[in-house]
Amino acid sequence: MSVEQLSHQLVEFYDKISSWEHSVVKESGLSPTQMHTIEIIGHNQEMRMKELAEKLGITTGTLTVGIDKLEKQGLVQRKPHEKDRRSWLIVLTERGEAMFKEHHRFHQAFTQDICAELTSEEVASLARLLGAVLNKM
């Protein structure tokens, strides 16, 4: 397989995942970026603004605007950092946690659908290859 063919497949894979993600997120009333923010917080329980901005690949200024909107919707809250008075931790509210869990279930179902026709060896190979690619990014 040529690099050109692989490139085409990667773009197609990204487009399909992105389309699926947008269709799932649309039902929540949030933007994909807002849901991604909730997802990252949900997996980490609580995060400093700087850490969250880095994971999202945005500035803390841009994140502040996004967190303000999520806070107004009752999905996240800021809480003071215990050891650093200048820092705030972002946590999910009960409603945000419920939204995270529901979205996470969609991801698990999506992954099960992808793996349904694969052997256990193929699933292990896919996981290994994706891990190697992600480590390079």
For the chain, domains (ranges, CATH) are 3-136 (1.10.10.10)
Asked if pLDDT for residue 84 goes beyond 80, the answer is no
Question: Each residue of 98-137: pLDDT tens digit?
Answer: 999 999 998 898 899 889 999 999 999 999 988 898 888 7
- In 10 A of CB 51, how many CB atoms? 16
User: How far does CA 108 lie from the centroid of its chain?
Assistant: 13
Question: Each residue of 32-53: pLDDT tens digit?
Answer: 889 999 999 999 989 999 899 9
Alpha helices by DSSP H, 2-86:
3-26, 32-44, 49-56, 60-72
